[in-house]
């Protein structure tokens, strides 16, 4: 019989219960102050933190009770409980594995939403089609996890696929998980766009940014530093072309960062989404500066071409998806392209 109590104790030490309890006591006391709700936005942020910490602690308490009940039942020596014990053991294995992953997601934004951008690289039409395939893969992954996926920008390719797209994923630990996908993704296949049906290699750059709120003191943006352009959204023609100027392009003059959003019909919504992307990129830049790693600006940006890929998806002459950072691989390429990427994410997080 495996000692699940020992495994839980090891994770408990990483969870740092005392520190979380101390923080919960501190902000709970703050929430009881007479002037607490004078600043409504800050108050809501504190209440959300209280709720998040309390939910975490409740989860750990519940699992601790389940582990203790399992060991008490096993210690009874009653053979009539064997089948029940085996079922419970499998369930505990899964819960502890899931809990282990959450202990690896301790960054300041890991629990929150993620902005994932897909940009086609070397490979022409094939690369744009590959970008659309990755777009589908990530939205399918979100469906599997019960996450929302809001497309805030999408630029169609001339012949097929997409040139670029940005998706806002909302769900528990969305950024913590998706940051494992940051980098260049390489596809090898027989090209459907080549008359001779030859093998082609395509590259797509995936960028993952945290969802940073306007109230977050880590990223402060001076409105005077912004240059905002409003223009008509491009579309496929006919009824899809916007008659009003609703698309937004924002340039952050001090850094030269340019972001755009044209997916919504509302100019206000496009501006809000563009600001989300800008805040995420400024956070990445600030983080790089703090760590004195300016070479890793914008999340270890790499040129989307041969030799810089983090993962390869080979559809011909054999079927294989391989992550070059962890050496983890899968032979069922269709399942991966249908959104089954959790094993790749988990192996990366564990390797970190």
What's the confidence (pLDDT) of residue 194?
86
- Helix (H/G/I), strand (E/B), else coil: 310: strand
Task: Give the confidence band of 184 by pLDDT, cuts at 50, 70, 90.
Answer: very high
What's the confidence (pLDDT) of residue 63?
84
Residue 295 has pLDDT above 70, yes or no: no
CATH class label, 114-208+297-351? alpha beta
pTM above 0.85, yes or no: no
The enclosing H or E element of 176 equals helix 174-178
CATH class label, 4-104? mainly alpha
Please state, rounded to an integer, the average pLDDT across all residues of the chain: 85
Query: What is the residue extent of each domain of the chain?
Result: 4-104, 114-208+297-351, 223-294
State pLDDT tens for residues 208-250. Answer: 999 887 777 778 899 999 999 998 776 544 444 445 678 899 9
Averaged pLDDT, 196-215? 89
What's the confidence (pLDDT) of residue 343?
95
State pLDDT tens for residues 317-335. Answer: 999 999 999 999 999 999 9
Averaged pLDDT, 251-271? 88
The enclosing H or E element of 188 equals strand 183-190
Task: Give the confidence band of 2 by pLDDT, cuts at 50, 70, 90.
Answer: low
Q: State the Rg of the chain over Cα.
A: 24
- As a CATH number, domain 223-294 is 3.30.160.20
The residue whose two tokens read 């579309």 is 235
State pLDDT tens for residues 113-123. Answer: 999 999 998 77
Averaged pLDDT, 131-154? 95
Averaged pLDDT, 11-20? 74
Nearest CA to 114 among 123, 105, 122?
Answer: 105
């Amino acid at each position: 019989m495996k000692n699940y109590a020992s495994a839980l104790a090891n994770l408990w030490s990483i969870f740092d219960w005392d520190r979380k309890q101390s923080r919960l006591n501190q902000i709970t006391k703050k929430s009881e102050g007479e002037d607490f709700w004078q600043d409504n936005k800050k108050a809501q942020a504190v209440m959300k933190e209280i709720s998040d910490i309390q939910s975490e602690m409740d989860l750990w308490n519940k699992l601790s009770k389940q582990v203790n009940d399992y060991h008490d039942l096993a210690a009874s020596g009653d053979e009539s409980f064997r089948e029940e014990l085996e079922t419970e053991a499998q369930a505990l294995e899964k819960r502890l594995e899931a809990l282990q992953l959450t202990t690896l997601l301790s960054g300041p934004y890991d629990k929150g939403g993620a902005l994932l951008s897909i940009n086609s690289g070397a490979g022409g039409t094939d690369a744009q089609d590959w970008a659309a395939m990755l777009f589908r893969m990530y939205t399918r992954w979100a469906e599997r996890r019960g996450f929302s996926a809001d497309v805030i920008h999408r630029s169609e390719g001339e012949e097929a696929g997409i040139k670029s797209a940005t998706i806002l994923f909302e769900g528990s630990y969305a950024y913590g998980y998706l940051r494992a996908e940051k980098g260049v993704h390489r596809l090898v296949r027989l090209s459907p766009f080549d008359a001779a049906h030859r093998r082609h290699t395509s590259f797509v750059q995936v960028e993952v940014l945290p969802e940073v709120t306007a109230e977050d003191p880590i990223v402060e943006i001076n409105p005077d530093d912004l240059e905002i352009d409003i223009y008509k959204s491009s579309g496929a023609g006919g009824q899809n072309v916007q008659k009003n100027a609703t698309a937004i392009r924002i340039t952050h003059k001090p850094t030269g960062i340019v972001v755009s959003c044209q997916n919504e019909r509302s100019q206000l919504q496009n501006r809000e989404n563009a600001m989300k992307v800008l805040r995420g990129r400024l956070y990445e830049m600030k983080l790089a500066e703090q760590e004195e790693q300016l070479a890793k600006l914008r999340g270890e940006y790499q040129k989307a071409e041969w030799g810089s890929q983090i993962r390869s998806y080979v559809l011909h002459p054999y079927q294989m998806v391989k992550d070059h950072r962890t050496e983890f691989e899968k032979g069922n390429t269709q399942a991966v392209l249908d959104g089954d990427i959790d094993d790749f994410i988990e192996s990366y997080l564990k390797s970190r």
